[in-house]
Structure 1
């Protein structure tokens, strides 16, 4: 059990329910997840299985795509339907051009203030716990990357958008910020994560499949979670030395550049199995993460 399951989380359950369903099928192998989806959201949830759990941080950094719907002219402190929306008195009705201009202004590398109802820690406590307790929470702006923000449909008060973004982006905040730029307010009424990296919702497995069908055919190569990482194919003797913690000389001039010295390499065997992630050390390369499993 070594790979990544692409699951389509349905609305109405937590990400933990999906992880637990997979756990029951693959024990004693471990299962993690990359990128929590709220119960009100659906879509791609990646489940690294077995040694692939060590790739969780890499999966979390993959770009994500969403289809989100916002209702303009109403607001909540959470930015979504966790609370009952409150109408804004005399709310303006933005034109399609205003919406498009606001979307363009929010594209690129931007500063975003996360919602108070988020899992970010403030003074050692989850922000959403403080917010739900009625305490004032000051959220600091963060830099996020919005690669694309496209209007799918606008029929006031409903606005549907496609978002392609980097890690750490809060989709709720995008809708709130877009509405603010148009002089109004908004809440997110639906959210579907349509892709993480090249894992798409069209190819995702349902939770029913996860519970009832054979798991092994669902496992995708862990290399799919490392699309930008250079790969080096090594013989078994070299891989064994790496797995024993030794520093190895890969005898490849292309790996001796200063740029490569700052990089990780995915060490694979002749069958294209991921065996280790390497970093430059002591004039050679050593394992930063090893995925060796005893036979």
Structure 2
């Protein structure tokens, strides 16, 4: 099995934007990614090409690591900084200890409600399309696994955490749910995926540098 391309997805690009760029750079048409990152997220994007696209599902099953920044002073319609922001009245600013106690509740096998603005399908249509059209979005909670959550920094209203989790976890939903449990707001302001399995950000290629090193890649399809 060939080693996949490990890309550092740039800010404000979709995961499919990265694939289109790679197709143009390499001339390879059969390329796919393992695990979508939202436009406002950066970090590790695993890309398979040629016959190795059959291995995509195995990469998607791997444990993932994220660094997330959460704003606790408001909620967002999209659960991140892209959507309309609704500030809320904060009656009590939680202490670091209170935040730590709440975070512990989200570690383990838990049920999580996906964001309304997500690529999940509802009756054959993408949830985000229904939400944009103002139509009801009826999603079901899903079982996910969160291995660990570590507080890296907390200065009200911003909370920065490191999350290690399994497939299907929405960090946007985690941000929202942490805020709801704290009786504050909660929406994602920054997200970086730092690892998928053994593949880390330190080995990721910058998209604007790939063309200069593409000749060193194993492109024998």
TM-score grouping bracket, smaller chain normalisation: over 0.9
Question: Which residue of the partner structure matches residue 129 of structure 1?
Answer: 129
Kindly indicate whether structure 1 or structure 2 has the higher relative contact order, using CA contacts under 8 Å at least 6 residues apart.
2
* 1-structure distance, mates of 2:218, 2:174: 33
| 8 Å Cα contact 1:2-1:49 kept in structure 2 | no
TM-score where L is the length of structure 2? 0.94
1:78-97 alignment, distance < 5 Å? 78-97=78-97
The corresponding residue for 1:110 is: 110
Distance 1:186 1:51, change over 3 A: same
CA deviation profile, 1:47-72 (whole Å, cap 9, x unmatched): 10111101011111111100000001
Shift of 1:216: 4.9
Q: Distance in 2 between matches of 1:90 and 1:58?
A: 43
- Report if aligned partners of 2:19, 2:33 keep a CA contact under 8 Å in 1: yes
Q: Give the drift of 1:21.
A: 1.8
Instruction: State the alpha-carbon separation in 2 of the partners of residues 193 and 161 from structure 1.
Output: 12
How far residue 135 of structure 1 moved from its aligned partner, in angstroms, is 1.5
Distance 2:81 2:218 in 1: 34
In structure 2, the gaps of 5 or more residues are none
- Aligned twin of 2:99: 99
Paired residues of 2:80 and 2:187 also in contact (CA < 8 A): yes
Q: Is the 8 A contact 2:145 2:165 kept in 1?
A: yes
Distance in 2 (alpha carbons) for counterparts of 1:28 and 1:190: 32
Cα displacement (A) at 1:43: 0.3
Equivalent residue, structure 1, for 2:168: 168
Change (3 A) 1:137 1:92: farther
Q: Deviations over 1:182-230 (max 9, x none)?
A: 11221100000001111111110000122x223253459xxxxxxxxxx
* Structure 1 unmatched ranges of 5 or more: 221-293
Q: What are the residue-to-residue correspondences of 1:5-154 with 2, within 5 Å? A: 5-28=5-28, 30-154=30-154
Q: Give distance in 1, aligned partners of 2:29 and 2:135.
A: 41
Q: Residue by residue, what CA displacement relative to the aligned partner does 1:122-168 show, whole Å, maximum 9, x if unpaired?
A: 11110011111112212211000000111110100000000000000
Aligned counterparts, 1:174-189, within 5 A: 174-189=174-189
Larger Rg: 1
Q: Which digits, 9 at most, give the CA deviation of each residue in 1:80-114, with x for residues without a partner? A: 01123111024531111111011111001111011
- The root-mean-square deviation of aligned C-alpha atoms, in Å, is 1.9
SS in 2 for 1:181: helix
Cα distance in 2 for residues equivalent to 1:162 and 1:177: 16
> Secondary structure of 1:101's partner?
helix
Classify 1:219/1:7 alpha carbon distance in 2 versus 1 (closer, same or farther; 3 Å). Answer: farther
**Against the structure 1 CA distance between its residues 91 and 30, is the aligned structure 2 distance closer, same or farther, given a 3 Å change threshold?**
farther
